[in-house]
Amino acid sequence: MLNPQLDRRGELIHLLTTEGLPRRHVERLLDVARASAAGNAPAVAPQPVFLALPASAADHGAYAQTATQLGLLPVPLDTPVDDLLDQTVARLDPGVLVLRHAASGAAHCAAAQAAPGQRILNAGDGVHADPVPALALVQAMQDIKLDLTNLAVTLVGDVRHTRVARSVIHAMTTLGVPEVRVAAPRTLLPEGLAQLGVRACDTLQDALQDADVIIVLPLRIDALSGALLPSAREYAQGYGLTPAALAAAKPDALLLPAGTLTPGVEVDGDVAATLPPIEGQLADLEQHLRVAALCVLAGDAP
């Protein structure tokens, strides 16, 4: 079965997910992001970058700015995203379509309809995938820990409904992270974790024990029903990160927020106060990965 992200020669034509993405392509994206950070982003031929994500989204402007910086033409699409998938994708001019959609699998549907020369960059589809911020988390691990192949990484929070969680798990295992653990109420864990090479821990203490990296996933409290999450207070009591809880991890453990966290829920106030520097670093890494994704997809366009 062909990977829908790759052409018949195995070259990257869409960035839909980190699942099944060959290691050489993951490493190439990270390398181009580092080149961008050093001021050496590759040149790409002028072409449109179609923006099919909410104008209110924080990264809408970031993608538009990145496209302009690379000499590409940002083109906001006014077409409703559902209509875009139904009839418009196949008629777009060659270029890159940056797509965000509430339905899981929407980016794959767009890729299946794309005309020759049209590349799809998934900026998040449902609870399925969000490769760019996931790669930023992996790059932060590499930059700080250097060698991924001897790390124990723990994810804490809503793995089931957080698309970045799935994407970072696939990226980490592709790059050789040997131990990935998760800690969350059972209702917030997806099926099939063992098949992903992930160990679900019974307690937060077990998950954090001697961890090298801790990725904290945000809770969408307003979107979770009472059956999934009885209360934010109950979650905080069982899975909120405090200095005492983090003492189980290694002394130099790296704490990475995978989104905006709420003090008193995912983390307590003392832990939240330590996060702004790493949040700034992750924002910079994510911006350079936007550059990398557009460079690779636009640069490889026929």
Per-residue pLDDT tens digits of the chain, which is 302 residues long: 578 999 989 999 999 999 999 999 999 999 999 999 999 988 899 999 999 988 778 889 999 999 999 999 999 987 666 666 666 677 788 999 999 988 889 999 899 888 889 999 999 998 899 999 999 999 999 999 999 999 999 999 999 989 999 999 999 999 999 999 999 998 889 888 888 889 999 899 999 999 999 999 998 765 555 666 667 788 889 999 999 999 999 999 999 999 999 999 999 999 999 999 999 999 999 999 999 999 999 985 44
Answer for the pair 121, 98: CB distance below 8 angstroms, yes or no. Answer: yes
Answer for the pair 157, 218: CB distance below 8 angstroms, yes or no. Answer: yes
CA dist., res. 191 & res. 246, Å (int): 27
Instruction: Give 259's contacts (C-beta < 8 A, 6+ positions apart).
Output: 162, 164, 217, 218
Specify the pLDDT at position 50: 94
CA dist., res. 98 & res. 108, Å (int): 13
Q: 23-130+284-299 and 132-276: same fold?
A: yes
Backbone angles phi, psi at 79, to 5 degrees: -65, 130
Q: Tokens 């019974």 correspond to what residue?
A: 202
Specify the pLDDT at position 227: 60
pTM: 0.93
Instruction: Give 195's contacts (C-beta < 8 A, 6+ positions apart).
Output: none
Could you tell me the two tokens for 282?
Answer: 């992750």
Q: Is 4 helix (H, G, I), strand (E, B) or coil?
A: coil
Could you tell me the two tokens for 167?
Answer: 């994407």
E strands, 103-253, are: 118-125, 152-156, 179-183, 198-200, 213-216
Answer for the pair 129, 122: CB distance below 8 angstroms, yes or no. Answer: yes
CA dist., res. 261 & res. 264, Å (int): 9
Q: Tokens 């209509």 correspond to what residue?
A: 83
Q: Tokens 């018949």 correspond to what residue?
A: 8
Specify the pLDDT at position 223: 54
Name the amino acid, one letter, at 290: R
| Per-residue pLDDT tens over the stretch 222-281 | 555 566 666 778 888 999 999 999 999 999 999 999 999 999 999 999 999 999 999 999
CA dist., res. 236 & res. 185, Å (int): 11
CA dist., res. 111 & res. 85, Å (int): 10
Specify the pLDDT at position 86: 60
Which has the closest alpha carbon to 120: 11, 45, 16, 48?
16
Protein fold of 132-276:
Rossmann fold (3.40.50)
Q: Domain coordinates of the chain in residue numbers?
A: 23-130+284-299, 132-276
The one-character DSSP state at 195 is G
- For the domain 23-130+284-299, what is the CATH code? 3.40.50.1370
CA dist., res. 71 & res. 275, Å (int): 34
